[in-house]
Amino acid sequence: MGEMVVISRKAPVMFLKAVSLLVLIVVGAFFLVQVSLGARGSDGNVPAVTEHSRALGSTAYRAVRDSLENIAALRLYRLFPAWELAMEGSPYMDEEGGRLYLASSRGRVMAVDAATGATAWSLDLGVWISAPPTVRSGVLYVGAVNHVLYALDSGSGTLLWYFTAQGEILARPVVSDGMVLVTSDNDSVYDLQHRVYALDARNGALLWVHDSESWTPSAPAAGAHAVYLGGYGREVYALDRATGGELWSFKASNIVFSSPFLSAGKVVFASIDGRVYALDESGGGLAWSLKLPGFVWLAPAGDGVFYACSRGDTLAAISVQDGKELWGFRGRDLLQGSVFSLGGLVCAFNQRGEAYLVDAGTMRGALALTSGLASAPVIAHGRVYAASPDGFVRAFPLPDLESLEADSAPKPD
């Protein structure tokens, strides 16, 4: 069981003056060199100043001025943890009702107060945990390598029910209108089985099971009438929500490891070659497809927009309606599942614990945690909850981003 340590709160880091001074020095040196070289003609005389040279000087000045204004507009925040908690193994996280729920790969499950880090309850399942937990409506669902899905009371940690699948549970359970959806894949070399189970959320009773020909390591998406999932076989399936029977399937260009999501009557997903698809939710017809550089992760944002984060270090905002790219941003080492809407801005983390704050493709600021990230963080209650490679879970209070959003609005000339 981990030990909580309370640490001092955040402090903004502002080194923009130094950056601006460096830029001014470089620009000044450039102009001195240009003046020195241009002050002499071939005959050694000083040439007359022309309108063309004045225009070039004016353009260069405006470019330098605009660059300095853009640098000065950036706000850089270094965040310090309000509390931290040590855990053995790789921790997974979910949040509900002011509590942070942690599940370590070593089998430890905990509920802690999201504001203080104080432990509400802790339980050792005695088996390694293989999938991120899901907490919904007072129940915490945890999948383990022993093929068991555990349903725990989120208030006390008491076991409510459990269900044994045919194989290891690798994807986060999905809860939708009283139904729990879980995928599992057996660990046998021969006669591999890949299944999707629909369980009654009240007691774990089996509602239906679907045998898939494809390894399915990602969570499915649940709609009003169907369940959608992809997998290793390059196909995306739509299953009848009531029976689990196949309604339609679509063959993608490559393996589909991303979880699909539903928006505006479309099923949106990505294959590992960087192609993003939107299919008609009811019939599976192709609405549009888009090719992005490298492996792609998707993050739905609402209002008919989603974000695509690729291994090409590209973050793009894309319209669900027609697949048009609304804006793009180049970052570094963007982390899977780490793109959030935050204070009217888009927040994208990388593995070093840095986050870009982007407004319509323009960087407005950045956050910097004191530790790297082992997985995508959770943002709730004005804090960033981060699991780091050093075995700690930390809570980083966020700065006030409303003023940053206001500063990013267009200003009159």
Between CA 305 and CA 361 the distance in angstroms is 14
Q: Hey, how many other C-beta atoms are within 10 angstroms of the C-beta on 18?
A: 9
**3-class DSSP assignment, residue 23:** helix
Counted domains in the chain? 1
pLDDT more than 90, % of the chain: 55
As a whole number of angstroms, the longest Cα–Cα distance in the chain is: 95
| pLDDT at site 281 | 96
Question: Given the DSSP bridges, would you call strands 305-310 and 383-387 parallel, antiparallel or unpaired?
Answer: unpaired
Task: Measure the CA–CA gap between 263 and 286, rounded to whole angstroms.
Answer: 14
**Tokens linked to 101:** 């729920």
The string of pLDDT tens digits covering residues 120-158 is: 999 999 999 999 999 999 999 999 999 999 999 999 999
pLDDT digits (tens, 9 = 90+) for 344-368: 889 999 888 999 999 999 998 999 9
Selection from 252, 266, 267 nearest residue 220 by Cα: 267
pLDDT exceeds cutoff 70 at 235: yes
2 assigned to some structural domain: no
Q: Is 38 a member of any domain?
A: yes
Q: Strand, coil or helix: what is 105?
A: coil
Say if 50 falls within a structural domain: yes
Query: Domain for residue 86, yes or no?
Result: no
- Residue 263 CB neighbours (<10 A): 18
Backbone angles phi, psi at 381, to 5 degrees: 55, 35
Instruction: Please tell me what DSSP assigns to residue 225.
Output: S
- Tell me: pLDDT of 71 over 70: no
Show the domain range for 25. 11-75
Q: Can you give the pLDDT at residue 368?
A: 94
Tell me, yes or no, whether 108 lies in a domain: no
**145-149, 201-205, 311-315 — which is least confidently predicted?**
311-315
Q: Please report whether residue 23 resides in a domain.
A: yes
* Structural domain contains residue 33: yes
pLDDT band at 331 (very low <50, low <70, confident <90, very high): confident
Lowest mean pLDDT, pick from 26-40, 78-92, 148-162, 215-229: 26-40
Mean pLDDT on 367-371: 93
What contacts 192, CB < 8 A, 6 or more positions away? 185, 186, 215
